[in-house]
Structure formats: C-alpha cells, structure tokens
Amino acid sequence: MLLRVELRKHLPVFVAAYLATTATGMAASLAPDIVTLDVVRALCTLLCWSATTVYSAAVVFSFVVLGRDQLFQISTRSRWQLVGLKLGVLTVLLIVQHLLTVGLQLQDLLEPAGADAAAVIGYLMLAKVVSIAAFLLSVTFLATVAKVLRGRGVSASFFTVGLLVVIGVQGVLLWRLGAPTTQEFFIGVGGQLFTVNLYANILPLTLTGPNGGFLPPISGLSVVLNLIAAVVFAAGWAVLAKVRRFNFLPM
C-alpha cells in the first residue's frame, strides 16, 4: 500500500518530465535536418532533469528533516525503512526517465559510436544508475546530518550548500584526475552529440578537450568516482542511523 501511495505521489512531476522529453525527442527525430530542434531537445532534457533532480532532493529533505508525509508518520515500519522506500521509488522513476531520454537519442548515439556502440550503451546505463545512487545517498546523508541542526533555515542552508559542495568536489576530482589539461567543459549535452556524458554525482558534464573517441577513458573514472561516493555516503548514513536516534517529527 505504501509503495503504491508513494509512487502515485510522485507520478505527476515525473510524467510531466516524461511527456516533455518524449515530445521534443520525437520532434527532433522526425526532423533530423532541423538543428534548432536538436537544441530544443537538449535544452528540454536539461530542464527536465534539473526539475526532477531538485524535486527528488526536496522529497528526501522534506521527509527526513521537516517530518512531512503524514501517512508515513503513522506507519509501524522503521523510519529508515521508510526512507529506503522513498529512495527506491525515486530511483526507479529517475531510471525510467533516463531510459526514455536515451531511447529517443539512440540513433544519434549509435552513429558516432560506431564499433563501440555496445560499450557506449552499457556505459550510459551503468554511469547513470551509479550517479543516481550517489546523488540520492549523498542527499540522504546530508539530510540526516541537517536533522540535528536547530531551525529550518539553518538545516536548509546546510543541506543546500553541502550538496553543492559535494557535487563541486566530485566535478573537480573528475577534471583534475581524468583530464588535467582540459580547460573547457559544459554542463549537459549540446544539440550535436560528439561524446558521452560524464557524471560528477548527478551533474552531467561534457569535457571538450580529452581525446579517445566517443567513449574516452575518463568515462570509466566518472563511474568509479560516483561508486566510491555512493559507498562512502551509504556507510556514513548507516553509521549515523546506528549511533544516534533520530525522530521524523515535523520541525
């Protein structure tokens, strides 16, 4: 019951993102010669992912820190089991969004990938799943720490700044370790795909400098750094949950 309720709660936001992604993706696919549609698709993808990412972080913060969600408050399940349920639902919805995004761009991805097409598809799935896990676990860890602070304003500020710092640190590590000579990069992808996305936590990055084809060596480092981040934040969350008692009452 809780699973169905939780899923229905988030469907309006994600379905809106799915529809926008589908509409712009199909338009760009049906008229491949119109460059403007490629740019619109890329912009819509960026905006939809920004919306669902911020929404997912807000869901975790609202429950863990602010104690919202009355149905979950009266549940007999462990509060950490309820957090896990929320994370599971958000993970599935974000993965579906990724599958839809990649599916609508599949032809554009396979052509430049050439003989590496299978490796590219495998990377796109693994990298995004690991980045989603790193993001949601970092959000949960930061929200758990923010819970002990006094006042909504202080907790919200710590949570927001902390998340930006985590993403920023991962981005810098990816850049300095994987492509220290690269001076140019941008967030997201452009209208024309020339390389795969790299992920600093949930943030998609495209480096313009490194060589190595459509799937450069730095892509593996992107996955490894996110996997390390996911393990570290999961362990930190587990330690906090064990050594300190938390309530989920409204703040």
Cβ neighbors of 138 (< 8 A, separation 6 or more) are: 163, 166, 201, 229, 233
Inside any domain, residue 249: no
Question: Which pair of structure tokens corresponds to residue 139?
Answer: 């959000």
Average pLDDT, the chain: 83
What is the predicted pLDDT for the residue at 198? 85
Q: Name the domain count of the chain.
A: 1
Q: pTM for the complete prediction?
A: 0.89
Inside any domain, residue 32: yes
Q: CA 121 → CA 23, 98, 114, 212, distances in Å?
A: 22, 12, 12, 17
Question: Which pair of structure tokens corresponds to residue 181?
Answer: 């000579």
Inside any domain, residue 251: no
pLDDT for 219 beyond 70: yes
Q: Who wins on pLDDT, 76 or 156?
A: 156
Inside any domain, residue 250: no
What is the predicted pLDDT for the residue at 197? 80
Q: What is the pLDDT of residues 50-73, one digit of tens each?
A: 999 999 999 999 988 887 776 666
How far apart CA 90 and CA 7 sit, in angstroms, is: 8
How far apart CA 131 and CA 109 sit, in angstroms, is: 20
Inside any domain, residue 117: yes
pLDDT for 8 beyond 50: yes
How far apart CA 58 and CA 143 sit, in angstroms, is: 10
Inside any domain, residue 248: no
Domain of residue 230 covers 2-243
pLDDT for 140 beyond 90: yes
> Which residues in 182-197 are b (16+ Cβ under 10 Å) and which e?
eeebeebbeeebebbb
What is the predicted pLDDT for the residue at 245? 65
